Structure formats: structure tokens, C-alpha cells
Amino acid sequence: MNYRFENFINSASANKQAFESSIEGVRSSLDSMVSSNTAHAVPSPAKTGWLKGSLSYPWVIVCSLVPSLKDMF
């Protein structure tokens, strides 16, 4: 067999073994995280105190009220 071809095969085998060992490390890390009993709290989204939806932004209310107040006076 050609020396370069043997090097190619040996390099591919070494890379495959390194990949499989890294996959096993990731798998064991994920298994340990999933099996842990601690529950991580997800932070709730910030509340503005305004109405829900598109009216939750103060500038929407200001832009809709200012022209109507301007027309009134």
C-alpha cells in the first residue's frame, strides 16, 4: 500500500476516535445536566405597567393623544 494512503487512513481513524470521544463527553455532560434536580428559574419579561400589545409602548399613547388634544384646544 502507498505510504501516503496509509497516512491518510491512519489520520482519518485518529480523527474519528477523537470525534467519538468528544461526542461521549458532550453526551455525559448533557446527561448530568438533565439528571440534576435543580430547576433553573426563567426570568419573567419586564412589565411596563401599560396596556398589553402595541399600546404597551408609551410613545404610541403619546402620539395618539397629543394630536387629539391639539385639535380640541
Q: Average pLDDT in the 65-71 region?
A: 79
Domain ranges of the chain: 3-35+49-72
Place 51 in a pLDDT band, splitting at 50, 70 and 90. low
For residues 33, 39, 44 and 45, what is the CA-based torsion angle, rounded to 10 degrees?
A: 10
* C-alpha grid cell, residue 72: 380640541
- Mean pLDDT score of the chain: 79
Q: Average pLDDT in the 14-38 region?
A: 87
Is the pLDDT score of 29 beyond 70?
yes
pLDDT of 12: 92
